[in-house]
Copies of this chain bind each other. A is one copy, B any other.
Amino acid sequence: MDWIFKEGQPIYTQIIAQLKIKIANGTYKPGEKLPSVRELALAAAVNPNTMQRALAEMERECLIFAERTNGRFVTEGGEVLDNLKRTLAEEFIGDLFQNLKKIGLDNEEIIAAVNQWAKEEQ
């Protein structure tokens, strides 16, 4: 399930989204050392510059931090991870409501559709 990129969206933004998920689900835990830029780039089959750009962006968001010649680490502190999970979930759910409302569904219909989806699919 690792490192699949779609067309129509910059790779570096997709890397950020997928890395956030990996942090949120514990693949990379707070305080843990990340693979090096070059390793990550190799694993994602992406140019090191592209991976570097994604990582630099996540540093600006304080999700990870770099130690000059030692490597990169996931930021520690329980709030960070909890905030990330909550923010991601709210983004996903908010987008769903926004989109479904645009095509004419109200709150009840949305909840019904989500329930039905959970039963029928997978």
Contacts and interface: CB of A to CB of B under 8 A. Distances in A.
Interface residues of A, number: 33
Contacts of A9: 8-9
Contacts of A103: 21, 24-25, 85, 88-89
This chain: how many copies in the complex?
2
Given A94-B121, A114-B114, A100 B107 contact: no
A99 B105 contact: no
Interface of A is mostly: helix
Interface of A: 8-10, 13, 21, 24-26, 85, 88-90, 92-97, 99-100, 102-105, 107, 110-111, 113-115, 117-118, 121
Contacts of A113: 89, 93
Nearest to A119: B107
A110 B102 contact: no
A115 to B, nearest CB: 6
